[in-house]
Chains A and B, each alone.
Chain A
Amino acid sequence: MADLKSMLDQGTQDGLQIYGHQCSRKFYELLKERRFASTRCRGCGHLTFPPRDFCPACFQPDVEWVDLPRQGRLYAFTQQERSVRFGKPDVIGIVELPGGIRLLTRIDGKFETLRIGQSVQMEFLELTPGLVLHQFRPV
Chain B
Amino acid sequence: MMMRGQREVAILGAAMTPVRKDLERPITDTFTRVILQALSEAGIGPTEVEGLYVTPPGFARPWNFMFACDLAAHLGVPTRGLVMVECGGSSSLAALKAAIQDLLTGRVRVAVAAALDQRAMPAGDDLFKNLPTYVARQIGLYGPYLGPYGIGAPIPLYALSSQRYMHEYQVSAEAVAEAAVRLRRNAEPNPLAEYRDPITVEQVLASPILSPPIHLLECSPFASGAAAVVLCRKDAAQGRAQPPVFITGFGEYHHPSHFLDDRASITTFEATVKAGAEAFADAGRKPSEVDVAEVYGVFAATELMLYEDLGFFSKGQAARAVAEGRTAKEGQVWMNPSGGRLSLGHPAAATPMMELCEIVWQLSGHFPKERGIESRATPYEVGLVHSEHGMVNGGFVLILEQ
Contacts and interface: CB of A to CB of B under 8 A. Distances in A.
Interface residues of B, number: 41
Interface string B117-147: 0000000000000011111111110011111
B161 A92 contact: no
Interface string B242-268: 000000000000001000111100100
Contacts of A48: 262
The CB with the most chain B CB atoms within 10 A, among A81, A85, A104, is that of A104
Contacts of A106: 149-150
Contacts of A15: 135-140, 144, 147-148
A10 B132 CA distance: 6
Contacts of A24: 144-145
B210 A82 contact: yes
Contacts of B149: 85, 92, 104-106, 133
A85 B134 CA distance: 10
Given A16-B139, A94-B160, A86 B208 contact: no
Q: Please classify the interface of chain A as helix (H, G, I), strand (E, B), loop, or mixed, using the class held by over half of its residues.
A: mixed
Contacts, number: 138
B212 interface: yes
B164 interface: yes
Given A76-B163, A78-B211, A19 B256 contact: no
Contacts of A4: 131
B59 to A, nearest CB: 16
Given A104-B146, A104-B149, A116-B167, A81 B135 contact: no
Contacts of A66: none
Interface of B: 131-140, 143-152, 155-157, 159-161, 163-164, 167, 208-213, 256, 260-263, 266
Given A48-B262, A93-B160, 16 more contacts: A7-B132, A8-B131, A11-B135, A12-B135, A14-B136, A15-B148, A18-B136, A19-B143, A49-B145, A49-B262, A76-B164, A83-B150, A90-B150, A92-B160, A104-B145, A106-B149
Interface of A: 4, 7-8, 10-12, 14-16, 18-21, 24, 27-28, 48-50, 56, 75-86, 90, 92-94, 100-106, 111, 116, 131, 133
17 contacts: A11-B132, A14-B133, A14-B135, A15-B136, A24-B145, A27-B145, A50-B262, A76-B167, A78-B156, A78-B212, A80-B211, A81-B210, A84-B131, A86-B150, A104-B146, A104-B260, A111-B212
